[in-house]
Structures are given as C-alpha cells and as structure tokens.
Chains A and B, each alone.
Chain A
C-alpha cells in the first residue's frame, strides 16, 4: 500500500506544475484553454526526441518549455488577433498540435528506457548521498515492508515545484502580474489603465502552456516514454486539481491558492490510485474517474451550501413560530 501512494505523490507533484499552468489560464486569465491536451505531449515529445539525440537533459527540458510557450502564445494570438472564441482557439491549437507532436517525435511512441534522463542522473547522484538509507530505515522501523527505491525524485520535484510556485506568486504581484490578473477579472477596466490586454493574454497563455510542457517533459522522463496520446484529458486532470485544491485548501490569497492547486494535484493522483485498486475498475476507466471527480468537486460544495441555507431558513421559521406562540 505504501509504494502506490508514494508513487501517486511523486507523479502528483509532477502534475502539479501542469495544474499551476491550468490555474494561470483558467482562473487568472479566465480563459478555458484546451491547448493543454496538446502542449503536455509537446513538452514530453520535444524533451524525449532531444534526449534521444543526445541533447543534455536540462537543455532538452528547457526546449520543451519553450515549445509549450510558443504553442500557448499561438492560442493567444488566435484569440486576440484572430478574434476566435477562447474555447475554439484552444481546440484548434490542440488539434494542430496532435500532428505537430507526431512530426516532432517522428513516431507515435518514444521510449526513454535506455536513455539518461534528468531523473536517472539525479537518482545516481542522490543515492551517493545516503539519505535514502536513513529514510527507509525509519520506514522499516514503523513496520513498512516495501520501501521506495529512491526519495530523490520526490525531493527534487518538491523543490522544483516549490520554486515554480514561488516565482508564480511573485510574478502575479508585480505590475505586469497585476495587469494580467485584471485582464481575467475586468478587461475593460485594465485597458482603461493603459494595459495591452492582447499581449497580456498571449504572454499569459504562453507561460501557462510553458508550465504544462515542463510538466509533460518531466513526466515523460519520469515514466520513461513519450506517447502522442498521453495528453488526452489532461485539461480535465488540471481542472480537477485546481477545483479539488481550491475546495479543500481555500483561495484566500494568491500564495494560498497556488499551494492549494499543488495539493489538489497530489490528492487527485492519490484518489485515482485508490480508485484503481477497486476490483472492477481498470486503467481504462481513469478518464471517467477524473470526470466524475470534477463533477463531484463542482456539484457537492453547491449542494452542501444550499442545504445549509435551507436548514438555516427552516430554523429561523421555527424560531419565529415559537416566538409567536409565546406571545399568544
């Protein structure tokens, strides 16, 4: 039981970067950007083909981010300069990316099993430090039998995700970041304060898909493959993370919300892992589980609050009746 959860947290924290990207487009810019399904694969594909061609892993990952940024910017240009509806801009770009990704990868599936990736290099370095032994000894003393092979991925991913979160937090408080948020909040207003909302949307979607591509690049290297179909339903996973995170951890401030989104991504992976352990569900059901999860996360809070409201009104009604009775 420990190992699947551990892996869920590991991959959850990689997905968290994608979820932060979805948060940027979906919440900050108020732009339901479906490019994500394509740009996730773009990230994985660009990194994979670069690594196979002996590009250093870090540079391969950076190339993936740039490719994602460009894909997102094009969606932004379609929307702002081409005046195409936001949803449709994303769908058009996502569809085009499917072919582009195939071209980039040269084939539908690339294996990285025999290649050096960021994570193989990392684990090699990590195991020389010896932290693994300490942590695993601790686990064994708690009675856990199967211990993880390496803690390095988890620690480094926490570090990377935390850095990205902090950069995002800071950026959203800068003058440019404030204008970006206002573009999603009240576009007419921020234009009357001399902000070029077209450019802000293009840049914002670029960053968003840059994050998504980074997540894709890391996930490809983590899983040891890039597949042209690996992005299907990614936007829903991103949404699930954002919505679950916001519902559970709150949205009081930007810093709180970005943390909530990361938490949401991890919890999403854990829930899916647990769901897949149910006998009659298999991996093919994952997308359905995700959709159901999002539907629940959207509906349940509303049902709960309307029930609370109904109860409150009923209580008031009874109070009034009792008071009238008392007077009579």
Chain B
C-alpha cells in the first residue's frame, strides 16, 4: 500500500546548520496497517510525514503508494490519495466557512471540483449522518462557522474530514497533542473507531507513548532520522512504556532525552 525506499533528506546541507532529518528510511505498510511512530523531538517523524504527503521532496529515495511512484507528484495531486490531520486544531479546517462547507471541500478531495453547488440537500443529509458518528452534536450546527467551534470539536471535524472519503493513506501528525487530556482521549477513541470502520492504512505520529501502545498493530521508534525499532502484532501488544524506554537505552546507549516523550 505504502512503500518508502531509501529515503534521505538533509536540511541546510554543507552549512553549520546541517541537519540530517532522514537517513535511508525503508518502510513498507500493508493495506489496513495502523502504524504508530514515536521518537523525541527532531527524530524526523514530522519530516517523514511531510515526505509522504508531498510537502517535502526527499534528496534521494522513492515514495510509492499502491505500487505507483509518487515521489515527484505535487502535494495537491497526491492528496487525492492521502488524508491528513495536523497537530494544530486550527490547521485542518477553514475557520470563516461553515461546517457543511468544510465537509463539502473534504468531500471533493478525490473528485474533480466542478461548478456545481458544494452543498446540496442530498449531501447535507450525508454530512449529517457522518457528523452523527462523532457524538458531539455538530450535526445540528451545519451552518455554524467552524471558527466558533472549540479546539476539540475542530479536531474531531478535521479527523472526520480527512477520513470519510476513505483515503488510501491516513497521516495523523500528533493530532491530539494540542488538546486537553479529556478531549485528547475523545479524539484518540474516535481515531480508533474511524480507522477500524474504514480499514484505513494509517501512520500516526505521537509523543504519547501510552497512545502509541494502545492504538494500531505496529509501532515504530525513530531517532536521528532513522528507524531504530519496528515491532508488530503480538510483540507490540506485549510492549509497555518501561520496555520501550529500556529498548531505546539498549539500542542507543543513552537515556531518552525528552521528558515529553515519557510523560506524554
């Protein structure tokens, strides 16, 4: 479904600020895989997401979606295949537009945009049904401007918008990190439900180790632009935070330096 071959990316090459963000990353996801990615700040998690989505182009290496090489396909074209939720709840929706208009834009993701009305009666019903699954009462506020929603509501809407057209790949970039614990819990639970429902092939970056353990069937740990740990299936189910930290220590010979990664 998603294959990443020998992808490397260096920022500010040959300057004092040189940063090897990705170093020869190889990764392959099967259809329906739900992979959680952890690692400290600067490990290259977000860069990897950006390379997959097309907002960054790697120095070398290829990105393949459904066997098709998309390394050079511009972001807006690639996003026909990719749904994405950002960390910032403000980033995934258009604040001055209504809930139904936002959903209509997301609905057009994998279609050609035409000069027909974005919201019609039939679609409104469809949107209402989808919003119903969030259990936030948003289905009764279709014509409210999204800027009026709370951060949690906006992130739930972003999640719905990124997923209800069933993208080939779903990218979640610390999408619960900016929310309070109870909202984060809600979005985490919704994420689990939605990915399950639509059988989405998902990559989720998180700083919350517990979340990384709870969700998904495979876990990847990144450090200094490399994948240093990759566990799946039963082995992943048996993982705990302590084991993960010990594993990091064993591989890197240092303590994990980021409190956020531990405390989540």
Does B96 touch A at the CB level, under 8 Å?
yes
- Closest residue on chain A to residue B96 by CB atoms: A185
Q: Which A residue's beta carbon lies closest to that of B112?
A: A175
Q: A197 within 8 Å of B by Cβ?
A: yes
Checking A171, A174, A178 against B97 with a beta-carbon cut-off of 8 angstroms, the contacting residue is A178
Interface residues on A, range: 20 to 34
Contact: A189 with B94, CB < 8 Å? yes
Tell me if B39 counts as interface (CB < 8 A to partner A).
no
Q: A181-B97, A194-B77, A194-B109 are in contact. Are A189 and B116 (CB under 8 A)?
A: no
B53 located at the interface, meaning its Cβ lies under 8 Å from any Cβ of chain A in the complex: yes
Instruction: Report yes or no: B114 in contact with A185, Cβ–Cβ below 8 A.
Output: no
Give the chain B neighbours of A191 by CB distance below 8 A: 75-76, 79
Q: Which of A171, A181, A186, A194 contacts B91 (CB 8 A)?
A: A186
- With A and B bound together, what is the CA distance between A191 and B93 in angstroms? 11
Least distance between A65 CB and chain B CB atoms (Å): 18
Confirm or deny: A193 has a beta carbon within 8 angstroms of a beta carbon on chain B: yes
Report chain A residues within 8 Å CB of B97: 178, 181-182, 185
Query: Which residues of B have CB within 8 Å of A182?
Result: 94, 97, 105
Q: Name the prevailing secondary structure of the A interface residues.
A: helix
Residues in B whose Cβ lies below 8 Å from that of A175? 104-105, 108, 113-118
Considering only residues 160-203 of chain A, those with a C-beta below 8 Å from chain B are 170-171, 173-179, 181-182, 185-186, 188-197
The residue of chain A having its C-beta at the shortest distance from the C-beta of B53 within the complex is A192
Interface residue total, chain B, C-beta cutoff 8 A: 33
Closest to A182 in B: B94
On chain B, the residues within 8 Å of A195 by CB distance are: 76, 105, 113
For A170, what are the chain B residues with a Cβ–Cβ distance below 8 Å? 117
Q: Is the CB of B215 closer than 8 A to any CB of chain A?
A: no
Q: Known interface pairs A173-B118, A192-B84, A194-B80. Does A181 touch B94 (Cβ–Cβ under 8 Å)?
A: yes
- How many Å from the CB of A137 to the closest CB on chain B? 45
Q: Say yes or no: is B110 at the interface (Cβ < 8 Å to chain A).
A: yes
Q: Which residues from chain A contact B80 at a C-beta distance below 8 Å? A: 194
Q: Which residues of A contact B223 (CB under 8 A)?
A: none
B24 at interface by CB-CB < 8 Å? no
Min CB gap A98→B, angstroms = 35
Q: Which residues of A contact B105 (CB under 8 A)?
A: 175, 178-179, 182, 190, 193, 195
Q: Which residues of A contact B84 (CB under 8 A)?
A: 192
Q: Is B61 an interface residue (CB 8 A)?
A: no
The answer to whether B109 touches A193 (Cβ under 8 A) is yes
A176 / chain B contacts, CB cutoff of 8 Å: 113-115
Q: Is B166 an interface residue (CB 8 A)?
A: no
B106 proximal to A (CB < 8 A): yes
Q: Does B33 contact A (CB under 8 A)?
A: no
Docked pose: A176 CA to B108 CA in angstroms = 9
B92 within 8 A of A: yes
Complex CA gap A193/B106 in Å reads 6
B76 contacts which chain A residues (CB < 8 A)? 191, 194-197
**Which residues of chain A are within 8 angstroms of B110 by Cβ–Cβ distance?**
194
Contact flags B100-126 to A (C-beta < 8 A → 1, else 0): 010011101110011111110000000
Contact of B95 with A by CB under 8 A: yes
CA distance A174 to B53 in the complex (A): 26
CB-CB < 8 A to A189: which residues of B? 91-94
Chain B interface (Cβ within 8 Å of chain A)?
53, 75-77, 79-80, 82, 84, 86, 90-97, 101, 104-106, 108-110, 113-119, 161-162
Chosen A-B contacts, 29 in total, with CB atoms closer than 8 Å, are A170-B117, A173-B117, A174-B114, A174-B115, A174-B116, A174-B118, A175-B113, A175-B114, A175-B115, A175-B116, A176-B115, A178-B97, A178-B101, A179-B113, A181-B97, A185-B95, A186-B91, A186-B94, A186-B95, A189-B93, A189-B94, A190-B105, A192-B53, A192-B75, A192-B82, A192-B162, A194-B77, A196-B76, A197-B76
